[in-house]
Each structure stands twice: as C-alpha cells, then as structure tokens.
Amino acid sequence: MIIKVDNLVKRYGDLVALDHFNMELHQGEILGLLGPNGSGKTTAINCILSLLKYDKGNVEIFDKPMSPDAYEIKRDIGIIMQNVAVFDELTVYENIDYFCGLYITDKKQRKPLVDEAIEFVGLNDFRKFYPKKLSGGLLRRLNIACGIAHKPKLIILDEPTVAVDPQSRNNILEGILRLNREGTSIVYTSHYMEEVEQICSRIIIMDKGKTIATGTKDELKDMIKSGEKITIELLGIDGSILADIRNMPHIISAELNDNLIVVKSNRGKNNLVVIMEYLKSKDLSVGKIYSEPPTLNDVFLEITGKELRD
C-alpha cells in the first residue's frame, strides 16, 4: 500500500474540515481526488503529508506511520502544488538543481537527474531562462520538474494544469502518464473532470470532509440515475412534441435549443429507440442524432449537488 488513511479528523474550532476521512492509494495507481471547493481536499493532502496536525486518525505511507520528522518517507515523495513555487532569481536549471538537492546532496549524482527532469518536461531550450521570462505553461512544467527530479515513488499533484493553454495541458497530462508507466504512484486533484476521466485509474469524490464515493470512472457512472444524453436535430417541432417526450417513461428532462432537442434519461433503458419510434409516428423530419453516455461531470454534480460553493 502506498497511502492508507483511516478515519482522519481535522477541526478548526467548530468547523470540521475532515470528518473521518478514508483513502487508499495502491501501487501503480493514478488516484483522482475530487470535491467541490471547501470539501477538504487540500486539508486532506496537508494532513497526509504531515504539513498539518490533525485531531484523530492514522496515516501510513509506504506501510510506515507518517509524521513530521519521517524524512526517510519524505525523500520518496514529490509534491507539486497549485501555486507555482520556484525562485525568481534562479534559472530553470538552478531551480531544479536546488529542489533536487534537498533530497540528493551529491552534485555529481544530482546532475544527470536534473538533466533528465529538464528533458522530461521539455525545457531543454529554456535551461538558462529565469522564471519571469517563462509563459504560464512553461512555469507549470518547471514546477513539475522541481517536484520529480529526485525520482520519487509517490507524487502528489494539486491542480497542476490551472490556467495553462491546451498544448501545455496536454504535455503535462502525457508526462503524468509517462511517470505512472515508469512505476510512480500518483494522487491527482483537479476541477477539470475530463482530465481525471482521461488519466485516473480510480477516483475518490469527497464532500464535507468525507469520502462519499469511490471507484473507477465506470463504477462511479453506474452509481447515478442519469443515463445517456440524446440530442436530436428536428425541423417543425412544436410544444406538444416536447411535452410528449417529457412525459415518456425514464425521461429526466427535455429541452429545445433552436432546432435541437436535448433529452436526458435514466440509465439502462431503450430511450433512444422509444423516442425515435414516437417521432416516426408523427412523420417528423429528423436530422442528426447524437447519443452520449454520462460523463464524470454528470456523476460529480449528481453526487455533490449543483449549488454554488465558495
């Protein structure tokens, strides 16, 4: 077991930030940790890393108790937090060398690791650049290189693709998958559901300090009522047609957007067949038809609710 968290409790006065939170990370996994703002994700990570004292519970990393002075454990952990943490007065190479040096003091041993990290994140052409000269995407890649140069067995990434362009985001995600293929176990937090769906082998959804759902993306999708979303291009539609579709069994909603009907249905029913048979009986001219399975975003909203969070 890479991480095992049992019944973690963290209070700030009357506020319970973690309420008997549980989590496991197995060897070779990319674990997605999801939750609305204020759900306790960052608090959980800080407690797991012993950066924050908790009130109750146990944390083990690499099958050993985690504590603030567990330096043997910490040497095998890489941390890439949401806020870029590099030194403006150091170049790309010097930044990576500095952070790698916190774990590996021998300069000769460190140099090939720094070179490999630079190559890995694609910063060869920027080795002598200072952070102020880098774009947001390049800064993120520098931040990742600083966290992985010492070859950690466990990497925790907290929102690593915030505010970067699609090309940089794709580069970062491909890099995470490569690290995982090389044997690194990863905890990944993000508000971008498509990223989590793309790279994570298992997902935890937490809210109000608790784990409220866990499983693969397909297992999570099986937990919710929402099924396929059906989009139908239709000419000459009137209100009675829309009302009839809304009244069909297993239909959650049906909305009209120009000449498109967007229908959300419950899972496990032949809803598309029923709708098409109905439209055929009305001699309506049907154009393009799309049927989409539920997404991780649908799962997240159904499980955690749609109200806005601070």
Q: Could you tell me which residues are beta bridge partners of residue 286?
A: 234
Q: How far apart are CA 263 and CA 253, in angstroms?
A: 6
| Host domain of residue 262 | 226-293
Let me know if residue 310 belongs to a domain: no
- If one counts every other C-beta atom within 10 angstroms of the C-beta of residue 268, the result is 11
SS3 annotation, 125-155? HHCCCCHHHCCHHHHHHHHHHHHHCCCCCEE
- Angle, vertex CA 159, rays to CA 158 and CA 164, nearest 5: 145
143 and 281 inside one domain: no
Length of the chain: 310
The answer for residues whose C-beta is within 8 angstroms of residue 106's C-beta and 6 or more apart is none
pLDDT for 179 equals: 94
Phi-psi region of 254 (alpha: psi -120 to 50; beta: other; left: phi over 0): beta
167 and 262 inside one domain: no
pLDDT for 266 equals: 85
Structural domains in the chain (count): 2
* CA torsion through residues 54, 56, 62, 65, sign: positive
Classify strands 64-65 and 251-257 as parallel, antiparallel or unpaired: unpaired
Backbone angles phi, psi at 12, to 5 degrees: -115, 90
CATH number of the domain residue 232 falls in: 3.30.70.100
Q: How far apart are CA 194 and CA 21, in angstroms?
A: 25
Q: Which of 34, 48, 47, 56 is nearest to 206 (CA)?
A: 34
Domain boundary among 221, 243, 258: 221
pLDDT for 82 equals: 81
* CA torsion through residues 279, 226, 158, 76, sign: negative
CATH number of the domain residue 16 falls in: 3.40.50.300
pTM: 0.85
Dihedral, CA of residue 6, residue 11, residue 16 and residue 22, to nearest 10: -10
92 and 109 inside one domain: yes
Q: Could you tell me which residues are beta bridge partners of residue 214?
A: 204
167 and 91 inside one domain: yes
160 and 267 inside one domain: no
pLDDT for 186 equals: 98
203 and 254 inside one domain: no
What's CA 11's distance to the chain center, in Å? 25
Residue stretches of the chain with pLDDT short of 70: 268-269, 306-310
CB 11 within 8 A of CB 17: yes
